[in-house]
A = this chain, B = another copy of it.
């Protein structure tokens, strides 16, 4: 699906900022932060526009915002395998990247009496594949 189609499907106007953000994120295999997206984007946008675009895209569940400790804010496409499955995000302590682990996913667990789960975020911290290899190579 193209960025254009995604926007149309959500009844969002097709602006170059939104389209660009979606395309950049679709082309990446890791989650990106604001600066990384800005660098990869052809146009130059105001920071305010960025914030508003992220907000809009997030509200329509097109993007997923991932916050690590605090202040590491990254965005990824929201491609959940099924409505009741939530995939984990992996944060590498070494290279600081965030990747979607599509193969690692969870169902909503049984909650205590009275609680209703509507969404779930799982962040796993550790060492990623490529950092493990780099370490072994030494």
Contact = CB atoms under 8 A, between A and B. Distances in A.
A119 B124 contact: yes
A69 interface: yes
Nearest to A70: B67
A81 interface: no
Interface string A10-26: 00000000000000000
A82 to B, nearest CB: 17
Contacts of A126: 111, 115-119
A104 B114 contact: no
Interface of A: 65, 67-70, 73, 88, 90, 93, 101, 103-104, 106, 108-130, 132-133
